[in-house]
Amino acid sequence: MTVEPIRDKKKVKQLYEYLLSDSDRNALLFKLGINTILRVSDLLKLKVSNIYTHTMKPREHLCIREEKTGKLNKIKLHKEMLTLLKDYISKWNLRYDDWLFFSYINPTRHIDRTVAWKILKEAGKKCGLESVGTHTMRKTRAYHVYQQTKDIHHVMELLNHQSPRFTMRYIGITQSQKDKTQKEIIL
């Protein structure tokens, strides 16, 4: 199944609020996924230590070697995101080496991508969104960065893509443009 970005910012907020009403872990997964543009495989493997030092001082950058590309990715987290993380870590009494997205069944393990997919898929359905999955987080951020900047090369860099054409298709711009043409032009 192909997943799409969430193009309507109100729907992004609605999905986040739905997740938050059910589980702060799941809401944080979505919020951090959208704000970091990380692949779900990298996101799920984050530990407290990726974000904070031993003294719980925020690191200047979240640094992670991407599983798929092997590239080091440095991400500056927004102050609001750091506050959400701090509150979450404090609430769950997480330690330096703990998983951020721990399993409720076995906290010594992180949730897997299938669980993350089910969480997001179900939340999407509840919010009236059909094409939601784990890549939706990445695609949504990339889509909105592109809409704001119209700089496909910047979006390519954020996603670690090699081709503008692939990036446009990945974030759904090509399909949006085709749909708009079909809707607006009649001969």
Catalytic residue list:
39, 68, 135, 138, 161, 170
**Rounded to a whole number, what is the largest CA-CA distance in the chain?**
66
Q: How many CA atoms lie within 13 A of 79 on its CB side?
A: 0
Tokens of 11: 């729907």
Rounded to 5°, the CA angle 143-144-148 comes to 120
Contact 136, 64 (CB under 8 A): no
The answer to whether 142 touches 77, Cβ cutoff 8 Å, is: no
Of the candidates 27, 69, 32, 77, the one whose C-alpha atom is nearest the C-alpha of residue 52 is 77
Residue 132 · residue 3 · CB < 8 Å: yes
Long-range contacts of 29-32 (CB under 8 A, 24+ apart): 29/101, 29/116, 29/119, 30/120, 30/123, 30/137, 31/81, 31/84, 32/81, 32/85, 32/100
